Structure 1
Amino acid sequence: MTTTHTGETSSIGVYPKVLATLNYYLEPERGGSDKYILGSGNDLELNKYDSAEVYVSNIRGNEADFRLDEHGFELLQDVETIKSSDPTYLREEYYAIVARALAAKVGASEVVVTSNIRRLRKDSHRRKRIPISYASLVHVDQSWSGARVKYAHKCPQFSKRFDNSRWAVINWWQPIDHAATRWPLAVCDGSSIADEDWREIIATSPKRRPKLPGDDAGDVGTPIEPPCAALPPSSEADVRSNPDHGMWNVVKPRSQDEHKWYFFQDVQPHEALLIKIFDSQTQGVSRRTPHSAFQSPIDYGPERTSIEFRCLAFWDEKPLVICTPGQSLLSQRR
């Protein structure tokens, strides 16, 4: 059941809310698991979950209230639209557009787009694109250790930068073809989640058929990922599998408004939602952002089609900020 509700009060005004169902972590003693099977959209079929009704604030029109380093997410407006979902176009042209825009936004020395997930695919006979299921379990793609494991494996040429400078994993999510008027992304201010409610679990990929000639490594559901975009493509041997790695799940809240969830209604093709997945800086910034697709009571229009770009950002002039003895890694913005 989903209903509309008004509203959360901020320092600027009141945000209208919707009441929606989100799917949280199910503890192993209740039938859940400490492993999360990555299904590229069919998460609910592969994993057990604990549903909860929560309020999600619609912050359309209040974009300036939310910033990436403070809240863990931010909506960019007036970005270049994606002209095609063709993987060659994305890799050879649009990756550079994302990298330049994101580096300018966050003040990074360099941004590298490592891969993309396309929320669209062809039917079983590869005749036409069809929408796919959306990732509708509350999660953060990588944990503190999981980010290092995944990207040291995927992009080993950056190992020294991982050790010596600030770096972050940021997702760039953007609609393609038309506005995202249904199944929006909900994003949560991680500082509203109690320390004891985070669960670090292992993300693992199911065994699937080998990649076949003609398969697109950017297609959702493909069992292997291409090498880091910064590496020149050469042969199939360069393709690196997605290693098992830590990720964050969250147990369900004690009340409908305990976790501060937000969404931007009707994200346009010229807009991009930034989501902070990991930040090596341990003080003063938001470091992880739970997110999930959800069915909204104000959904309308065609099925959502969107592309998510996974990005590494580096600040080479900024050394790693290490916590002092006795200081929690979850301090300040978590």
Structure 2
Amino acid sequence: MGTGSNGQLVASTLSSVEAELNYLKAGQGRPVSYTFEPPPGVPWVTGELEPRRVAIRDGRPLVALHELSLDRSGFTQISHRSVVADFSHDATIRDIYYREAEALLRDVTGAEKIVVFDHTLRDSAQGSRRTAELREPVRRVHNDQTFASAPRRVRDHLPPDEAEERLKHRFAIINLWRPLATVERLPLAVCDARSIAREDMVPSDLVYPDRVGETYSFTWNPRHQWYWFPRLRPDEALLLKIYDSREDGTARFTAHTAFEDPTGAPEAPARRSIELRALVFWPAA
């Protein structure tokens, strides 16, 4: 895993669950997913999935040892209570939660500038791919950006001159993932970036009404190291690195997916969560 001796010892003794994750089957070409109702006869998603049973370890002990961090593994878990209690109003999210997230990300990363550019509410009972306001959890292994699409995000959300200057220096895209109630169903699994090989990543089209974005799907690799954070609470959150321009061994992204917790109760309440994505800019070195 690339951890120190203490981290290796803890990783080998972590409690874990064995669960099925949906990878892209190898040799599928370039998958396509729609964010809106596709034309008649066109599937919502292409690319055959290949379910694989994997061990998913409890990441909390390694976070405490600083073995799982944004720059080492591509993700971490933090304690943070939001001032927002009701996430049902879009204006509250944009006016209050966005500003709160900007301050949090600036504090955690030491960045100079944060630009929040979107958010997604998810509900495993009420959400649907047909409703942009409330989506269902994604149950396939993916990453939200690619080496090609991340720089485009900078150009989409900054003035042209500033965008070109910022692209000369380090920037990242980080997902702030927060449960809205204690997670008892469909928790999030995250893959250690150090266990991912370049050939595991498959560029995939994400079709919007006005443009086509690009994400990564992933094929199975037995080296993948998966983690989760059991019963994550609203006063806890995950930070996921979904792109980093740095090329010095720093984690550049992390695969993630919702999964069925085999230890969960069938009558457990639905998973409700909010994820927020932000451009993170550091000053010129």
Question: Structures share a fold, TM > 0.5?
Answer: yes
- Aligned-residue offset at 1:186: 0.5
Shift of 1:147: 0.9
**Distance in 2 between residues matched to 1:282 and 1:259, nearest whole Å:** 21
For the structure 1 residues 131 and 17, does the alpha-carbon distance in structure 2 shift closer, same or farther, using more than 3 Å as the test?
A: farther
Deviation at 1:291, TM superposition (A): 0.4
Cα offset for 1:103?
0.6
Counterpart residue type for residue 46 of structure 1: V
Contact kept, 8 Å, 1:185 with 1:294, in 2: the verdict is: yes
Q: Is the 8 A contact 1:22 1:137 kept in 2?
A: yes
Q: 1:168 aligns with which of 168, 172, 179?
A: 172
Please report the TM-score for the alignment, with normalisation by the length of structure 1: 0.71
2:40 paired residue number? none
Partner residue of 1:262?
227
- Check 1:122–1:60 CA distance in 2 against 1; reply closer, same or farther (3 A cut): closer
CA contact (8 A) 2:125 2:270 kept: no
Question: Structure 1: where are the runs of 5+ without partners?
Answer: 1-8, 125-129, 208-240, 319-334
Distance 1:200 1:123 in 2: 29
Q: Deviations over 1:70-111 (max 9, x none)?
A: 100010113325312111001011111011011100110011
Cα drift, residue 38 of structure 1: 4.0
The residue number in structure 2 matching 1:37 is: 33
Give the aligned partner of residue 54 of structure 1. Answer: 54
The AA in structure 2 aligned to 1:245 is G
Q: 2:182 aligns with which of 179, 182, 193?
A: 179
- 1:189 lines up with 2:192 in the alignment: yes
Sort the Cα spacing of 1:156 and 1:131 in 2 relative to 1 into closer, same or farther, 3 A: closer
**1:156 CA drift (Å):** 4.2
Tell me the TM-score normalized by structure 2.
0.82
Q: Secondary structure at the match of 1:74?
A: strand
Deviation (angstroms), 1:139? 0.7
What one-letter code is carried by the residue in structure 2 that aligns with 1:317?
A
Cα distance between partner residues in 2 of 1:195 and 1:143 = 11
| Correspondence for 2:214 among 243, 246, 249 | 246
Q: Aligned-residue CA RMSD in angstroms?
A: 2.6
| Residue of 220, 244, 257 corresponding to 1:292 | 257
Tell me the secondary structure at the aligned position of residue 136 of structure 1. Answer: coil
Give, in whole Å, the separation in 2 of the partners of 1:276 and 1:122.
27
SS of residue paired to 2:14:
strand
Offset of 1:61 from its aligned partner? 4.3
Separation in 2, partners of 1:295, 1:81: 30
Q: Distance in 2 between matches of 1:160 and 1:133?
A: 35
Residues 288 and 87 (structure 1), Cα distance of their counterparts in 2 relative to 1, 3 Å cut: same
Please say if residues 33 and 44 of structure 2, whose CA atoms lie closer than 8 Å, have aligned partners that are also in contact.
Answer: no
The alignment of Structure 1 onto Structure 2 pairs a total of residues equal to 260
Report the counterpart of residue 133 of structure 1 in structure 2.
136
Q: Percent identity?
A: 28
